[in-house]
Amino acid sequence: MVSVGKNVPRKEGPQKLCGLAKYIDDYDFKDCLYGVTFRSSIPHGLIKKISFDSDFPWQEYVIATAQDIPGPNVVALIENDQPLLADKKILHPMEPILLVSHPILQKAYAALEHIRVDYEELPAVLTLEESLSLEQVLYPPDNVFKKFQIQKGNVEAGFAQADFIVEGEYRVPHQEQTYIENNGVAAYVENGTIVVMGSMQCPYYVHKALKHIFNVPDEKLRIIQTTTGGGFGGKEEYPNMIAGHAALLALKSGRPVKMIYDRQEDMAATTKRHPAWIKHRTGVTKEGKLVAQEIEVVMDGGAYVTLSPVVLSRGTLHATGPYECPNVRVVSKTAATNTPPNGAFRGFGAPQTLFAAELHWEKIAEAVGLDSLTLRRLNVFKEGSQTATGQILGESVGASEVLERAVTRSRYISKRKEYSLWNRDKKKESWRGMGLALVHHGAGFTGSGEVYLASRAGVAFTNKGQVKVLAASTEIGQGTISMFAQIVADSLGIPYEWVVVVDPDTGQVPNSGPTVASRTCMVVGGLIQKATLQLKQELSRHISKKSSWSQEDLKEAARKMIPPPAGEAELAPSRRSAGGGMMEGQPEKKYIVEYEKPKEIQWDDKTYKGDAYAVYSYACAVVDLEVDKLTYEVKIHKITTAQDIGKAIHPLLAEGQIMGGTAQAVGYALYENVVMKNGVMQNAQLTNYIIPTFMDTPPMDIEIVEKPYSHGPFGAKGVGELPMDVPAPAIAAAIHHATGLWIPELPILPEKIFKVFFSSPLVGEGRVRGT
């Protein structure tokens, strides 16, 4: 392999480095209007009347309401329950009611102050407890969007065999994606086609939603991803909403419309990670073997269904952790509240349930009298292990290997002993701790999801001998463009520099599915590799040399394979793509492959039994930290992590993914505290919604473990979400080791440590570390 496994230059790197990459707000459109959103000010109620100040110059503005929507007033996703614009009923306090546009952005915002809405307020449901009490029914009959149950063995019999039964309850909060670039799109109508350009992860999701809203055929919609400044799930389905708004204003005005959220609106109105509480009841023998797991998961879905069912599904399937247990019951639900809908965020439900699963091992360890490392070694997945859904893990099971490598590299065992001695010294100004967590993460869509998506991707070979990658998977900073080019280059046996990746544009590329679920490399990359091998087979019939093909060889083959059309010289000029070459204007032959499920994978959606994922990636993190005895601040000295991702196509980019996910998880564990009041985020700005800075992000020692997967390109699995799952429970475990305190709720702020410290009965007994 010439490029796979090597740190080749990023395809889009020079454009970004030199300031040439164009984000959506960098585009200028002639006669452009700027759109803004008028939103609800109450969490729950009915719209009685909308009034406009009579002395305001409304003739300068274009206003759109629900009555202007040509098709159904609904943003199509899993369920068609969320309106594009609220018409009668309000279900959360950031609900969009109408849209205003003006040639000057400041004047568009000023107009919002001259609109009045009279409401009939209804009692609000703002917490999970209120939702499940059913005092107000938001989503009939029981406020529950979705339920799941996983059953394996006989849980009651398992508990009867247990020497110890350990219970615990854990809570995790909202988390904001805080991508660098806020949500933004532009829309215009060109020759009867609605065109939307913008910052997004999933162009075909937007295409599906707008096709429904505007009641138009596929060919009358074109969705183009522009350079995107981060997504992390926050630009998975929310662009459906803002794109619908911009396109509605563009249709009504007959002019291009740009909508770019400011930071406050982006943080307050868009989706976040689902808050959740998780209860564990675990049966263990005195030797430390699991015999029963009973787990309950409840997630807050917010006001509308959006992606809650699939977030809950992944959370449910990961709730046991990467351990084999003969008797398991997991029940889960996601409930409705009068808060902005929650949605996708890196990890997609797994960070919530894995936090509980991993921290619970520390409770089990204290009950049984064995350390949590020993317990993990006794129960961890190995080849041949059976999961809670009955899946037999047949290959690429790196759980034990990442555990041992992280433990060794971090000196976990010796440093825990060293820190235990440190903590006994009352004169020390801090407590020190070492914490450990081990996780798994399924690559690709859950169960039959990939079959349902029927993703298509491939390559094109032009009459000039150029090779182009065709996929709707987006580059959002993770290295998609470069990774696809590496797979094609080595599969075809040509230099990486020769491969062009076409920009994600529904008018140019097939629907390869969403850029989510750690699927881009393994699933879409696998389709691209298969398509490339089809091209290679045909090229081999036209090129006599077996290897070391030159560009002249490719051009000669192209002349044989793709006869030039009449009037070739009159073709329109090509448009250069971010992937480094020409997109349009060259006759070409396409090789498109559709996803086919490996024959050995079997899944039953009704019973939730079988192969939940084709394969899992694995990660272990060890956290070395100290807690200041005066301020209760936590300082992480180092995070050591080993992660099995099958094959690192681009090792440096994979390492970057691990670093980025780890930093986000540090924020989740220690800093990021969404404050809600009456259903509205009160700290929707970066002055007091704290994310880790360079000063807060600790040194990281990263080891990539490669346990190849036979159906992944060159053995690759998923890496994007895995790093988000593992640091938070390791941090909480390290804080417990340092202080002796149980803090089963994120984020672990200094104030929370202070409160738990002085409410702990251990303080009076002098048993808290160092007191």
pLDDT tens digits, one per residue of 389-435: 999 999 999 999 999 999 999 999 999 999 999 999 999 999 999 99
> What is residue 545's predicted lDDT score, i.e. its pLDDT?
84
Same domain, 293 and 259: no
The structure tokens 């609220």 sit at 86
> What is residue 227's predicted lDDT score, i.e. its pLDDT?
98
Give domain status of residue 417, yes or no.
yes
Of the candidates 561, 594, 627, which is a domain's last residue?
A: 594
**Radius of gyration over every alpha carbon of the chain, rounded to an integer in angstroms:** 27
Angle between helix 525-540 and helix 480-492 axes, rounded to 10 deg: 30
The dihedral built from the CA positions of residue 381, 382, 383 and 384, taken in this order, carries a sign that is negative
Taking 60 as the threshold, does the pLDDT of residue 612 lie above it? yes
> What is residue 766's predicted lDDT score, i.e. its pLDDT?
43
> What is residue 689's predicted lDDT score, i.e. its pLDDT?
98
Same domain, 590 and 635: no
Give domain status of residue 176, yes or no.
no
Q: Which of 636, 670, 665, 638 is nearest to 743 (CA)?
A: 670
pLDDT by residue (tens digit) across 250-269? Answer: 999 999 999 999 999 999 99
The residues with which 440 forms a beta bridge, in sequence order, are 618
Same domain, 250 and 325: no
The single-letter DSSP state of residue 327 is: S
**Buried-state track 64-100, b at ≥16 Cβ within 10 A, e below 16:** bbbebbeeebbbbbeeebbbbbbeeebbbbbbbbbbb
Other CB atoms within a 10 A radius of the CB of residue 590 amount to 13
Question: Are 375 and 361 in contact, with CB atoms under 8 Å apart?
Answer: yes
Angle between helix 551-561 and helix 525-540 axes, rounded to 10 deg: 80
Give the span between the Cα atoms of 276 and 171, in whole angstroms.
Answer: 6
Question: Are 527 and 512 in contact, with CB atoms under 8 Å apart?
Answer: yes
Of the candidates 228, 251, 268, which is a domain's last residue?
A: 268
Taking 50 as the threshold, does the pLDDT of residue 570 lie above it? no
Terminal alpha carbon distance of the chain: 58
CB-side neighbour CA atoms (13 Å) of 363: 22
Taking 90 as the threshold, does the pLDDT of residue 351 lie above it? yes
pLDDT by residue (tens digit) across 505-538? Answer: 999 999 999 999 999 999 999 999 999 999 999 9
Same domain, 99 and 237: yes
Same domain, 610 and 686: yes
Same domain, 511 and 613: no
Burial (CB count <10 Å: 0-12, 13-18, 19+), residue 651:
middle
Give domain status of residue 131, yes or no.
no
Taking 70 as the threshold, does the pLDDT of residue 568 lie above it? no
Listed range (35-44, 95-104, 111-120, 565-574) with the worst mean pLDDT? 565-574
> What is residue 743's predicted lDDT score, i.e. its pLDDT?
96
Mean per-residue pLDDT, 78-95:
97
Give domain status of residue 388, yes or no.
yes
> What is residue 566's predicted lDDT score, i.e. its pLDDT?
62
Same domain, 335 and 473: no
Question: Are 325 and 292 in contact, with CB atoms under 8 Å apart?
Answer: yes
pLDDT by residue (tens digit) across 310-346? Answer: 999 999 999 999 999 999 999 999 999 999 999 999 9
Same domain, 442 and 456: no
Vertex 176 angle, CA 175 and 179, to 5°: 140
* CATH code for the domain in which residue 206 is found: 3.90.1170.50
Token digits of residue 27: 């585009």
Q: Which of 471, 428, 375 is nearest to 769 (CA)?
A: 428
pLDDT by residue (tens digit) across 167-186? Answer: 999 999 999 999 999 999 99
Same domain, 509 and 612: no
Give the span between the Cα atoms of 768 and 632, in whole angstroms.
Answer: 14
Q: What are phi and psi of 369, to 5 degrees?
A: 85, 20
The dihedral built from the CA positions of residue 739, 743, 748 and 754, taken in this order, carries a sign that is negative
Token digits of residue 585: 């204007």
Q: How many domains does the chain have?
A: 3
Give domain status of residue 283, yes or no.
yes
Give domain status of residue 144, yes or no.
no
Burial (CB count <10 Å: 0-12, 13-18, 19+), residue 695:
exposed
Question: Are 248 and 242 in contact, with CB atoms under 8 Å apart?
Answer: no
Token digits of residue 195: 């065109």
Taking 60 as the threshold, does the pLDDT of residue 578 lie above it? no
Give the span between the Cα atoms of 499 and 487, in whole angstroms.
Answer: 10
Amino acid code (one letter) for 563: P
Give the span between the Cα atoms of 358 and 15, in whole angstroms.
Answer: 42
The residues with which 419 forms a beta bridge, in sequence order, are none
Q: Which of 267, 172, 262, 233 is nearest to 683 (CA)?
A: 267
Question: Are 656 and 717 in contact, with CB atoms under 8 Å apart?
Answer: no
pTM for this predicted structure: 0.96
C-alpha distances in Å from residue 487, one per residue of 56, 483, 546: 59, 6, 19
Question: Are 509 and 456 in contact, with CB atoms under 8 Å apart?
Answer: no
Q: How far out from the chain centre does Cα 504 lie?
A: 19
The domain of 633 spans: 276-446+606-757
Give domain status of residue 599, yes or no.
no
* CATH code for the domain in which residue 509 is found: 3.30.365.10
Same domain, 420 and 441: yes
Q: What are phi and psi of 588, to 5 degrees?
A: -150, 160
The dihedral built from the CA positions of residue 18, 21, 27 and 28, taken in this order, carries a sign that is positive
> What is residue 547's predicted lDDT score, i.e. its pLDDT?
80
Q: Which of 659, 624, 661 is nearest to 737 (CA)?
A: 624
Instruction: Categorize the per-residue pLDDT at 573 as very low, low, confident or very high, splitting at 50, 70 and 90.
Output: very low
Give the span between the Cα atoms of 227 and 19, in whole angstroms.
Answer: 12
Taking 60 as the threshold, does the pLDDT of residue 489 lie above it? yes
Give the span between the Cα atoms of 569 and 559, in whole angstroms.
Answer: 15
Q: How far out from the chain centre does Cα 529 lie?
A: 24
Same domain, 752 and 628: yes
Give domain status of residue 212, yes or no.
yes
The H-assigned helical ranges of 55-145 are: 105-111, 128-133
Listed range (192-206, 328-342, 539-553, 636-650) with the worst mean pLDDT? 539-553
pLDDT by residue (tens digit) across 137-155? Answer: 999 999 999 999 999 999 9
pLDDT by residue (tens digit) across 430-486? Answer: 999 999 999 999 999 999 999 999 999 999 999 999 999 999 999 999 999 999 999
Q: Which residues contact 675 (CB under 8 A, 6 or more apart)?
A: 681, 682, 683
> What is residue 575's predicted lDDT score, i.e. its pLDDT?
44
Of the candidates 268, 296, 326, which is a domain's last residue?
A: 268
Question: Are 293 and 225 in contact, with CB atoms under 8 Å apart?
Answer: no
Same domain, 351 and 431: yes
In the chain, DSSP finds a helix count (H) and a strand count (E) of 21, 27
Burial (CB count <10 Å: 0-12, 13-18, 19+), residue 154:
middle
Angle between helix 727-739 and helix 651-670 axes, rounded to 10 deg: 50
Question: Are 558 and 462 in contact, with CB atoms under 8 Å apart?
Answer: yes
pLDDT averaged over the chain?
95
